[in-house]
Amino acid sequence: MNVRVAVIGGGSWGTTVAHLCAHNTATILYARDPVVAGAVNSSGENPRYLPGRALHPDLHATSDIAAAAAGADVVVMAVPSHGFRETLSVLRPHIGDRTPVVSLTKGLEGHTRKRMTEVVADELPGRPAGVLTGPNLAKEILAGQAALAVLAMPEADGPLADQLRDTFSANDFRVYTNTDVVGAEIAGATKNVIALAAGIADGLGSGDNTRAALITRGLAEMTRLGVALGGEPLTFAGLAGIGDVVATCVSAQSRNRHVGERLGRGETIGEIVASMDQVAEGVKSTPVVASLARSLAVDMPITEAVRAVIEEGRPAAAAYRSLLDRPPTSETRW
C-alpha cells in the first residue's frame, strides 16, 4: 500500500507503530516535544521513551502537527484518551474528508464515556475509523520479538482494513483483522483496569494463583460489559481480550500493573502519577468503566474495587479483601 502515514503521538507505542509502518511506506511521526522529534531525525531513536532502541532509518518526525497531517493518507492516533478529542479538533483542517483514522488508545473519554472511534465520528465525521490493539509491548517489538495485533474496523471497511493490515505488519509483527470495533475498544479500555488489580495483588504479596484468578474473573467482567454494549464474546477470547490482559497483567513493562503494584504497597495514586512521565490509561479509565457498567447494570466487582482505591483512597488491602468476602455464586452467572 503506497500511502503516507502520519502517527500522532511520540510516546513509546506511537513511536513503535511509526517504526513498523516505515518498513512499508512513507511515515511521519508527530511528537509534541521538539527535542524528541529532533532526536528521531538526527539519531534514529526516541531518547525519552525508548532510549537505545534503533528506529527505521526512513522514519521522520516533526513537532508541527499540521505539517505531520498535511497530505496524510492514513492518520494513526497515539495520544491519551483525555487529549484525544482536542487533538482531533486540531487535526480537522489538515486531513482529507475520507482519510481513515486508526486509534492506538486504550481508554474511554471521561465526560462522555465514549470509545475513541466514537470520538472520531464526532470530530471527523465521514472518516473511516478503527482500532489497532492487542498484547503489544513496545520494547519487545523494537527488539525484533514476535508479536500479534488485531485491527478492528467495520465490516463495510473490510477492503480498507486489509490494506491497512499490510501497512502495519512488519518483521515479526503480525496483524489480524476483526469487524468488532466495540468489543476491541472495550477490551482495550477494561484490560488496563484488570492490570491495576493484578498489580495491587502483587503489591500485597499475592502469588500466581491470585494473579490467574484475577485475570480470569477480570476477563469475565470485560466480556459482560462488552457484550452489553454490542460487542462479540469471541473478541474477548482473542488478541484484544485475553491476549492483551495476560501481557498487561504479568509484564514488568506494563505501566498499569506497575501503578497497581505501588498502590498495593501503600502509595497514593497522586504520588504515583506525579512520579511517572507516561500515562497509565487505567487510572483515568477505571472510574469511567465503573460508571458505564453501573449505567448498564453490569456486575464488575473487580473494577469497583479498583475504583474505590483510586477515587476514594480505600486501602488496597481492604479492597482486595472485599472481593474475597463476596458471597459465592455460579462461575458462569451473567
Of the candidates 331, 191, 214, 219, the one whose C-alpha atom is nearest the C-alpha of residue 264 is 214
CB-hemisphere CA count at 13 Å for 293? 26
Distance CA 206, CA 200 (A): 9
Strand order in the sheet with 60-62: 60-62, 26-30, 4-8, 74-77, 101-103, 129-133, 147-152, 173-178
Give the phi and the psi of residue 76 in degrees, each rounded to 5: -110, 120
The residue from 106, 114, 191, 284 that is catalytic is 191
Gyration radius (Cα) of the chain, Å: 19
Sole residue written with cell 475509523: 129
What 3 state SS string does 62-108 have?
ECCHHHHHCCCCEEEECCCHHHHHHHHHHHHHHCCCCCCEEECCCCC
114 is catalytic: no
Sole residue written with cell 490493539: 133
Give the phi and the psi of residue 6 in degrees, each rounded to 5: -115, 120
Joined together, the cell numbers standing for residue 184 give 476491541
Q: What is the DSSP string of 40-52?
A: HHHHSSBTTTBTT
In this structure, are strands 101-103 and 60-62 parallel, antiparallel, or unpaired? unpaired
Q: Is 131 helix (H, G, I), strand (E, B) or coil?
A: strand
127 with 120: CB under 8 angstroms?
A: yes
Catalytic residues: 191
